[in-house]
Homo-oligomer: A and B are copies of this chain.
Amino acid sequence: MPQNIKSFTSKFIADLVSGKVIGDPSVEISELSSLGDANKNSISFLSHPKYEKYLSSSAASVVLIDKEINLETDKTLILCKDAYLAYALVSELFSDNISYEIKDYPNTPNSSGIYIHQTASIGSNVTIGPNTFIGANCKIDDNTIIHPNTTILQDVEIGKSCNIFSNTVLGSDGFGFASNGKNYEKIYQLGKLLIGNNVEIGASCCIDRGALENTIIHDGVKLDNLIHIAHNVVIGENSAIAASCAIAGSTKIGNNFRMGGLSGVLGHLSICNDVTVGANTLITKDINQSGEYIGIMPAQEKKKWAKSSIFIKKREE
């Protein structure tokens, strides 16, 4: 679709990323590519010295580069304080504007599949994909995007400029049951789910609303796909959690928490600010000291693992 080509000068890009052009400020680029895939219309980026070797063979005309990387090249460079951050800023220029307007789907019957409860309120410039459900007492603030097939069940409040990916479920019942000695009585869930501003939630996540108090996801939190957040959990500002993690009920997590994939935190714990947790790790106790925590069982060739495994199990002797 040639009519859609976006083209920018290196000077324009340098201004956008607060960088400095070394070379030709008028060279135009119309693609963002990795060094390896670049062509003469491309801008690329080099944010780690170990990729320097790819620079000379790359066809990119313009390269975003960290100030501390020194090298000879005939390409136009844009020196940046942080080339990876500059890449993020440039990526937005090449992003398609998402539209879920029904007129874009001509093969479709005249229906949106969107259900918005009469008690829900939707801010301005909110994008809602087809087949999305928004239930009772929900509020969605300005500029938030809800991708298709998402379910926002009830008592969920979402802030400004959030991005909620498809098939995610927000505001489902927490897992609350009391044994009566024979089987389980359901504990009806009466709390809300409150989500701050600039939160991104990946696809197929589940975040339960609170039991009595509220589940709270603070501003700037980023969640990858297939993440479970149980009732009454609080996640602090600017935390980032990778895919397939689970946070159990009533755990309170501080700001800038980071967790690798397939990891979890048990319930009713307190995690201080600035904690990083490795992948496939379970946190079983409060953490009061910021730092990095890991509990990965090392993978080995089967025969070696079998020996390690027997050794671990023999410890009781």
Contacts and interface: CB of A to CB of B under 8 A. Distances in A.
Contact of A204 (B82, B108, B206): B206
Given A85-B180, A112-B109, A208 B187 contact: no
B295 A305 contact: yes
A177 B163 CA distance: 13
A84 B299 CA distance: 31
Contacts of A264: 244, 261-262, 279-280
A316 B307 contact: yes
A308 B308 CA distance: 12
A31 B30 CA distance: 60
Interface stretch (A21-29, A71-79, A222-230): A222-230
Contact of A172 (B104, B147, B311): B147
Contacts of A135: 148
Looking at chain A, what size class is its interface with the partner chain? 35 or more
Interface in A102-155: 102, 104-118, 129-131, 133, 135-136, 147-151, 153-154
A175 interface: yes
A107 B119 CA distance: 11
* Copies of this chain, tallied across the complex: 3
A167 B148 contact: no
Contact of A116 (B32, B108, B266): B108
Interface in A164-214: 165-169, 172-173, 175-180, 182-190, 198, 200, 202-204, 206, 208, 211-213
B301 A85 contact: no
B298 A309 contact: yes
A148 B133 contact: yes
A264 to B, nearest CB: 5
Contacts of A154: 96
Contacts of A150: 149
Given A32-B212, A94-B188, A105-B117, 17 more contacts: A82-B178, A87-B178, A91-B186, A95-B188, A104-B118, A107-B118, A108-B115, A165-B169, A167-B168, A184-B220, A184-B238, A203-B206, A292-B302, A293-B300, A295-B300, A304-B315, A311-B315
16 contacts: A106-B118, A111-B111, A113-B130, A149-B167, A163-B173, A163-B186, A175-B222, A184-B220, A203-B206, A204-B206, A224-B228, A228-B244, A230-B243, A244-B245, A278-B305, A297-B297
The 4 closest A-B pairs by CB, nearest first: A295-B299, A95-B188, A88-B178, A169-B203
